[in-house]
Chain A
Amino acid sequence: MTELLTPILSANWGVDKSWTLKSYLSFDGFEGAKKALKLKPEEVLEIVKESGLRGRGGAGFPTGTKWSFVPQDNPNPKYLVVNADESEPGTCKDMPLLLASPHTLLEGIVIASYAIHCHTAFVYVRGEVAHVARRLQAAVAELYAAGWLGKDIQGSGFDLDVVVHSGAGAYICGEETALLDSLEGKRGQPRLRPPFPAVAGLYASPTVINNVESISSVPCILRNGAEWFSAMGTEKSKGFTIYSLSGHVAKPGQYEAPLGTTFAQLLECAGGMRAGHELKFFTPGGSSTPILTPADVDIPMDYEGMVGAGTMLGTKALQVFDETTSIVRTTLRWSEFYAHESCGKCTPCREGTGWLVQLLKRLEAGQGHEGDVDKLLSVCDDINGLSFCALAGGAVACVTSAVKHFREEFELGYTTPAWEAFPYELSTAWAGGAK
């Protein structure tokens, strides 16, 4: 099924020293930027708009439209901030991209900055990846040396500086307004909107925040044209993307394919479930998206398709679990993630996620009280939609969707520990022989 795959971003991955400028240039690197610099910034923006590219960081907001929200008559400097804080559980596409080909992102930064008249761009990369920081730092240095960053880029008259900024471990900083506060040197807690970042973002100035994959998709759009891009994908979800498959599949990894590919197709590319096992449930877009079951494997995985299925495409992080897996265990671990990562600003998330964890812990241990499952859902109601930002919504989604599909397994927690019902050693990567 590999004809289905569209290795565009990943075309140069695996090549020796693919992260260097020299290697990148041999893959038509910076051809897109050269084209862009010959156009007017507004024309570049139009191309990206026409392509139909939507934000690949989870929200799926049309990228060109977001760029057009920047008020060019605002006297403050304009900023581009690349969100490389990839922390949504299951999401693992941006880090490999930055390791293998940081220049893909940087070329996209040059083009995007040019389009929105930005002269200082930031890459906010999560801190727990030292080697990614190295590759980015080295790539930026190469570009300054080669005249692709700094003053008067390639003689175009356009100036651009790029600052690589390492985070320090906070999932919430992947939320765009929390990222801005973090980048300003404060605690990374989300901000009130309005004002929106496009008008008052970093340092109260117009700012565009985009995901790594979104900006990395811009060079090929400039190289090959908006039509080439929009010919792929579905009517409302144009283009290609990187689907990340992990868990109980034979070949976990990054699968670049047009939007609208189904889970069944991707699973086939990934060699199916590991031998002798069956699909139990999977997440379409990370732990914050309601889980799906074998009934949903043929739904096109684009933004609208997933919403229609009662979930979200999110970051296209497909975590796949087979029948050896205890749903109670996974829900508990995800809930512990949210409780640990809650920024603490608002009551429902700060207090509610902790309560959910306490309830799930005793269900996992087989010590749940009668009525705990309903209580779980009721607490979710007190959180959902009432919080300051969407983190709480994600925390609730994984619980409510798990209970919806596997209520009995949760109720089993009134009597039976999850590790007895689903022996934990059976779900390990090496179960049934070394990997």
Chain B
Amino acid sequence: MSEELVTLTIDDREVSVPKGTTIIRAAESIGVYIPRFCDHPGLAPRGSCRQCLVEIPDAGNGRGFPAPQASCTMTVAPGMIVKTQMTSAKAKAAQAGIMELLLINHPLDCPICDKAGECPLQNQALLAERVESRFDGVKRRYEKPVPISSQLLLDRERCVLCARCTRFAEEIVGDPFISLCERGTHQQVGFSGEQPFESIFAGNVVQICPVGALTSVQYRFNARPFDLVSVDTTCEQCAAGCALRTDSRHGTIRRRLAGVNPEVNGEWSCDKGRFTLASVPAEQRITTPQIRENGTLRPASWPEALSAAADGLAGGYGGDAKVGVLTGGNLTKENAAAYASFAREVLHTDSIDFRTRQVSDEETAFLRQQAPQVTYADLETAARVVCVDFDPEVDAPIVFLRLFKAVTKGKLQVLALGAQPGRTWEKLRAELVSGTPKQALKELDLTVDDIILVGERAAATPGTLDTISFLRAKWAWIPSHAGDIGALEAGCLPQADGLTVNGILNAAMDGEIALLTDDIELFAAEGALAKAFTVSLANHKEGIATAADVVLPTALVEEQAGTLVNWEHRAGVVNPAIPGTLPTAAEVLARLQAVIEAYRAYTREDDADFEDYEDDDDYEADEVSGFERPEEPPAAAAPPTAAAPSEPEASDAETTSEGEEVPA
């Protein structure tokens, strides 16, 4: 859009908007709402529902239009005079007429329709004020609802044929598996059973449908909008960083909708984010700390579990165990930062890594250079975008939408290295480049107008990342998890002589190291996990908890506030959608830190002091250690500690029971 401003009058108020703005958008900018169905700011104007009719007494050239005009397709002109339904009886009557016609075949399903309460048709019908219908004929009937995919149901009777869904499918996503069919009064959204609408973006049509024609299997009949509490947050499914809105009722998230962020996801989301309501399904969730005893996990109290963890990680009296910290990429930045400082300041280790796959030194060096270079907006203005070991539609779907938008405008050329032919590349009209990435990248002769998007998988091909870091093109590393960049920024990578995940797992295999992990998925690491003393801040029953020695559950991402940093290095706010009772990972680590420090302080300095005071009845409190000396020696009922393969010491049992007195 041009920077040039155009001034016009809407409902007797002057407004200046950029040239090329449609009247309906210009009206919105001064708070004037013109009713509409087919118009949507993310889609090209269509002008078919005719609901947005306005009177234009002067088109800017001294002459008016004799009939009301659609405000969604007409752009503003200098000196134009527009009268909406607020100031023009003609516009109001025209809109009322259209509304009446829309309702004559509408089934008026409101009592059983998901959309009721948040329905543009309801709202706009009530605005139009024709309360009673004059239609006494026979309404159009269809079999309803019909599944158009495994997730979505279509009710053709409710459909007002605004074509938002079919336009979305074709224009925004390139997956026209739904398309208008038939003609005239029989026109309807059509699809084929052979090619259901299984697009990663399909769920958006439920959100943009202005009536209840498209509903999701997941949310159908689930709640009424006025019962829901909405919270804006950032999606945790991948590194795209989309704005998301969660709607919950009675402490359970009932649905998730795309949030609005023009700079990131516009108004769209992908189905991964939309249809994942809980980061851990309730029946799979660990809710209390666990300790492994004789090979099986059993519930434990927080003090007991924290002690066991401290014991295994801090190495008992007088020494530091060697610990490797694996944070995974699903943490908020705050939690990741807590891990980083815990690792360095409490565990005195630099062996911390957020990656949970095979890595290379090349990648580690590459990541140390990470800095924000590329934004979503840059993708639209680049000459070429080269995807290296990166599948946009799978790895960060919203990135695909941006690329598709630029490609369909004819401005962008997409190339792919390390890719198999497939529908994604066909939609992007991409050129698949063969040869080694190193070779191919050099041959492409990239300039500063080009952008490289490189995925995690690039670590597996030596030379790729090195080559990229020396090219003139701008590049962005797009990992697969929402917390990867935040963890990287927070220091969850060895900075000096610490081990990377490869080293950590090898050391674990050799029995040289204990492990502190978050709720991560470690593939083919059973051997390492079996050998090493493992403390996991885990929430999934079937995940790493099955190999951990101590399990400390934490708040889920939807239960806490924080920040998720996306691949652009843009911070996204995470707000708690539902209340939770468990502490965040940062809070757990803080408690663990307190235990360990008290532990160390006690074992190092006060053991001798304790012996001195043993017979002193006047001793009250030890100000150095902060312990309160009991009146009598405590009962010797020392709860059995978890088998600590590296440091089994009988004295630990006693100390542990002493340590229990320290508030957890």
A residues lining the B interface (CB < 8 Å): 170, 187, 192, 339-348, 350-355, 358-359, 369, 375, 378-379, 381-383, 385-388
Do A358 and B161 contact each other (CB < 8 Å), given the known contacts A340-B184, A385-B66?
no
A19 CA to B186 CA, complexed, in Å:
41
Stretch at the interface among B131-139, B223-231, B496-504: B131-139
* CB-based contact B180/A187 at 8 Å: yes
Q: Which of B348-402 contact A (CB under 8 A)?
A: none
- The one of A344, A358, A382, A387 that contacts B186, using a Cβ cutoff of 8 Å: A344
B200 at the interface (CB under 8 A from A): no
- The one of A341, A346, A386 that contacts B94, using a Cβ cutoff of 8 Å: A386
* CB-based contact A382/B185 at 8 Å: no
B600 at the interface (CB under 8 A from A): no
A379 CA to B182 CA, complexed, in Å:
24
Residues of chain A within 8 A (CB-CB) of B49 are 346-347
B88 at the interface (CB under 8 A from A): no
Residues of chain A within 8 A (CB-CB) of B138 are 358
- The one of A339, A348, A386, A387 that contacts B184, using a Cβ cutoff of 8 Å: A339
User: What distance in Å separates the Cβ of B138 from its nearest Cβ neighbour in chain A?
Assistant: 7
Residues of chain B within 8 A (CB-CB) of A387 are 50
Do A192 and B73 contact each other (CB < 8 Å), given the known contacts A344-B161, A381-B97?
yes
User: What distance in Å separates the Cβ of B404 from its nearest Cβ neighbour in chain A?
Assistant: 19
* CB-based contact B47/A170 at 8 Å: no
Do A355 and B182 contact each other (CB < 8 Å), given the known contacts A192-B47, A347-B98?
no
As a 0/1 sequence over residues 133 to 157 of chain B, the CB contacts with chain A under 8 angstroms (1 = contact) are: 0111110100000000000000000
* CB-based contact B105/A351 at 8 Å: yes
B212 at the interface (CB under 8 A from A): no
A344 CA to B182 CA, complexed, in Å:
9
A32 CA to B138 CA, complexed, in Å:
57
Residues of chain B within 8 A (CB-CB) of A343 are 183-184, 187
As a 0/1 sequence over residues 150 to 180 of chain B, the CB contacts with chain A under 8 angstroms (1 = contact) are: 0000000000110000000000000000001
State the majority secondary structure of interface residues on A.
Answer: helix
B586 at the interface (CB under 8 A from A): no
B interface bracket (residues with beta carbon within 8 Å of A): 35 or more
A350 CA to B162 CA, complexed, in Å:
12
* CB-based contact A345/B67 at 8 Å: no
A332 CA to B143 CA, complexed, in Å:
29
A187 CA to B161 CA, complexed, in Å:
15
User: What distance in Å separates the Cβ of A75 from its nearest Cβ neighbour in chain B?
Assistant: 14
B100 at the interface (CB under 8 A from A): yes
**CB closest chain-B residue, reference A358:** B137
* CB-based contact A344/B101 at 8 Å: no
* CB-based contact B50/A386 at 8 Å: yes
- The one of A342, A348, A378, A381 that contacts B185, using a Cβ cutoff of 8 Å: A342
A369 CA to B45 CA, complexed, in Å:
40
Task: Given contact pairs A343-B187, A344-B161, A387-B50, enumerate 7 new A-B contacts (beta carbons under 8 Å).
Answer: A339-B184, A340-B184, A342-B185, A347-B50, A354-B185, A358-B138, A369-B136
Residues of chain B within 8 A (CB-CB) of A341 are 183-184
* CB-based contact A344/B184 at 8 Å: yes
Residues of chain B within 8 A (CB-CB) of A342 are 183-185
**CB closest chain-A residue, reference B185:** A354
* CB-based contact A388/B67 at 8 Å: no
* CB-based contact A347/B94 at 8 Å: no
* CB-based contact A352/B101 at 8 Å: yes
User: What distance in Å separates the Cβ of B475 from its nearest Cβ neighbour in chain A?
Assistant: 35
- The one of A192, A355, A378, A388 that contacts B50, using a Cβ cutoff of 8 Å: A388
Cross-chain pair count, CB within 8 angstroms:
95
User: What distance in Å separates the Cβ of B124 from its nearest Cβ neighbour in chain A?
Assistant: 12
Most buried by B among A192, A345, A379, A387: A345
Q: Which of B42-61 contact A (CB under 8 A)?
A: 45-51, 53
Residues of chain B within 8 A (CB-CB) of A344 are 161, 180, 182-187
* CB-based contact B98/A348 at 8 Å: yes
- The one of A339, A345, A359, A385 that contacts B68, using a Cβ cutoff of 8 Å: A385
Q: What are 11 A-B contacts defined by CB distance under 8 Å?
A: A342-B185, A346-B47, A347-B161, A350-B184, A354-B105, A354-B184, A358-B137, A369-B136, A382-B101, A385-B66, A388-B47
A102 CA to B102 CA, complexed, in Å:
45
* CB-based contact A346/B97 at 8 Å: no
A347 CA to B46 CA, complexed, in Å:
12
Q: Which of B238-256 contact A (CB under 8 A)?
A: none
* CB-based contact B45/A192 at 8 Å: yes
User: What distance in Å separates the Cβ of B19 from its nearest Cβ neighbour in chain A?
Assistant: 14
* CB-based contact A355/B101 at 8 Å: yes
Do A355 and B104 contact each other (CB < 8 Å), given the known contacts A341-B184, A386-B98?
yes
**CB closest chain-B residue, reference A352:** B101
Residues of chain B within 8 A (CB-CB) of A386 are 50, 53, 67-68, 94, 97-98
A345 CA to B94 CA, complexed, in Å:
18
**CB closest chain-A residue, reference B67:** A385
User: What distance in Å separates the Cβ of B389 from its nearest Cβ neighbour in chain A?
Assistant: 36
Going nearest first, the 8 A-B pairs with the smallest beta carbon separation are A382-B97, A344-B187, A385-B67, A358-B137, A342-B184, A351-B101, A344-B184, A345-B48
- The one of B45, B47, B137, B186 that contacts A355, using a Cβ cutoff of 8 Å: B137
User: What distance in Å separates the Cβ of B120 from its nearest Cβ neighbour in chain A?
Assistant: 14
A174 CA to B638 CA, complexed, in Å:
93
- The one of B101, B105, B187 that contacts A348, using a Cβ cutoff of 8 Å: B101
- The one of A345, A347, A359, A388 that contacts B101, using a Cβ cutoff of 8 Å: A347
User: What distance in Å separates the Cβ of B372 from its nearest Cβ neighbour in chain A?
Assistant: 38
A359 CA to B105 CA, complexed, in Å:
15
User: What distance in Å separates the Cβ of A287 from its nearest Cβ neighbour in chain B?
Assistant: 17
A352 CA to B67 CA, complexed, in Å:
18
User: What distance in Å separates the Cβ of A426 from its nearest Cβ neighbour in chain B?
Assistant: 30
As a 0/1 sequence over residues 183 to 215 of chain B, the CB contacts with chain A under 8 angstroms (1 = contact) are: 111110000000000000000000000000000
A312 CA to B180 CA, complexed, in Å:
34
* CB-based contact B134/A375 at 8 Å: yes
**CB closest chain-A residue, reference B101:** A351
Residues of chain A within 8 A (CB-CB) of B186 are 344
A340 CA to B184 CA, complexed, in Å:
6
* CB-based contact A170/B104 at 8 Å: no
User: What distance in Å separates the Cβ of A298 from its nearest Cβ neighbour in chain B?
Assistant: 29
Do A382 and B183 contact each other (CB < 8 Å), given the known contacts A346-B49, A347-B49, A358-B138?
no
User: What distance in Å separates the Cβ of B197 from its nearest Cβ neighbour in chain A?
Assistant: 19
User: What distance in Å separates the Cβ of B210 from its nearest Cβ neighbour in chain A?
Assistant: 13
* CB-based contact A350/B100 at 8 Å: no
Residues of chain A within 8 A (CB-CB) of B46 are 192
A350 CA to B186 CA, complexed, in Å:
9
A350 CA to B49 CA, complexed, in Å:
10
User: What distance in Å separates the Cβ of B80 from its nearest Cβ neighbour in chain A?
Assistant: 16
**CB closest chain-B residue, reference A170:** B183
**CB closest chain-B residue, reference A393:** B67
User: What distance in Å separates the Cβ of A188 from its nearest Cβ neighbour in chain B?
Assistant: 9
A342 CA to B182 CA, complexed, in Å:
11
**CB closest chain-A residue, reference B179:** A187
* CB-based contact A382/B161 at 8 Å: no
A348 CA to B135 CA, complexed, in Å:
14
* CB-based contact B48/A346 at 8 Å: yes
Do A348 and B50 contact each other (CB < 8 Å), given the known contacts A358-B137, A369-B136, A375-B134?
yes
User: What distance in Å separates the Cβ of A16 from its nearest Cβ neighbour in chain B?
Assistant: 41
* CB-based contact A346/B185 at 8 Å: no
* CB-based contact A351/B183 at 8 Å: no
A381 CA to B98 CA, complexed, in Å:
10
* CB-based contact B98/A382 at 8 Å: yes
Residues of chain A within 8 A (CB-CB) of B187 are 343-345, 350
Residues of chain A within 8 A (CB-CB) of B50 are 346-348, 386-388
A339 CA to B186 CA, complexed, in Å:
10
**CB closest chain-A residue, reference B46:** A192
* CB-based contact B102/A347 at 8 Å: yes
- The one of B67, B100, B182 that contacts A382, using a Cβ cutoff of 8 Å: B100
Residues of chain A within 8 A (CB-CB) of B102 are 347, 351
**CB closest chain-B residue, reference A187:** B180
Residues of chain B within 8 A (CB-CB) of A346 are 47-50
Residues of chain B within 8 A (CB-CB) of A383 are 97, 101
User: What distance in Å separates the Cβ of A59 from its nearest Cβ neighbour in chain B?
Assistant: 17
